[in-house]
Structure 1
Amino acid sequence: MPKWKLTTEFTFDSAHYIRDYNGPCGRLHGHTYKVRLEVISRQLHPSEYCPHPVMVADFKTLRWAKRDATKGGLDHGVLNEILPPEYDTTAEAIAQYIYHETKRRLPEGVELKVAVSETPNSWVEYEED
């Protein structure tokens, strides 16, 4: 059976603070977040932008978080004001949020893994079984 694995990366700039953190991360500050999405499917699909089943997922759909915060993305926003209250703004929680928001945009049965970096040397990955 065929299997396709699609990988895409993008960045967005946002500010945040970690609630009740005793240190500099508890104050408002910003990052250029780097996001890597890995998407696996055993079949090809149409997308919002193309009616033919020719892709695992549309890159435009996958990069929704790169859009400006005023247009439904995360770029140039304050994450504490954008993410729902059940999410904190640690890299772990941001990865989980991006996973859930991306997953709902994907066809049924498509596997997803999200990696988020706040700094060049620190990454977190999130996926669900």
Structure 2
Amino acid sequence: MPWTLRAEFTFDSAHVITGYDGPCGRLHGHTYRVRMELSSETLRPSAHVKRNIMVADFRTLKWAKKDVEHGGLDHAFLNDVPDLGDDTTAEVIAAYLHHKTMERVRADLPDGDDGGDLKLRVTLWETPDSSCEYWE
């Protein structure tokens, strides 16, 4: 792929892994670190610029860093997030971030562009030395 757009950010959230036999089965929180890597063979317009000069807007990749009251995951109780529920492992959260981000990226595409060349890789760190990657 000729272009790869990278964005990194953090958000703070709490969760419980229901049924976990150990400390993670109790309410606890993390400062999650996220890296979004969106690759494309072509450049496109965005909601903020109408010329074909972007893979995507950085804002689109960083949606999850917003406060939960503004549609993000910062200061959320992850077990209350639709599509996550009681399954709040790093693996499930990384897949959730991938799917929701791709929905947002595709929503910004011009008519007739299916985004078939777009590939997203999400890396989610739950701690400084424990991470999970998800891509399709």
Q: Taking structure 2 as the reference length, what is the TM-score of the superposition?
A: 0.88
Q: Residues of 1 paired with 2:85 and 2:26: CA distance? A: 20
Aligned to 2:76, what secondary structure does the other structure show? Answer: coil
Cross-structure match for 2:127: 119
Taking the TM superposition and a 5 Å limit, the aligned residue runs for 1:17-56 are: 17-56=16-55
Task: Determine if contact 1:87/1:93 at 8 Å carries over to the other structure.
Answer: no
Structure 2 residue ranges without an equivalent (≥5): 107-114
Structure 2 matches for 1:1-129, cutoff 5 A?
3-85=2-84, 88-107=87-106, 108-109=115-116, 110-128=118-136
CA RMSD of aligned residues (A): 1.4
Residue 85 of structure 1 and its aligned partner are, at CA, apart by: 4.7
Aligned pairs, number: 127
Contact 2:11 2:31 in 1 (8 A): yes
Q: CA deviation at 1:20?
A: 0.7
Structure 2: distance between partners of 1:85 and 1:103: 17
Gaps of 5+ in 1: none
In the aligned structure 1, how far is the partner of 2:28 from the partner of 2:2? 41
Q: Percent identity?
A: 54
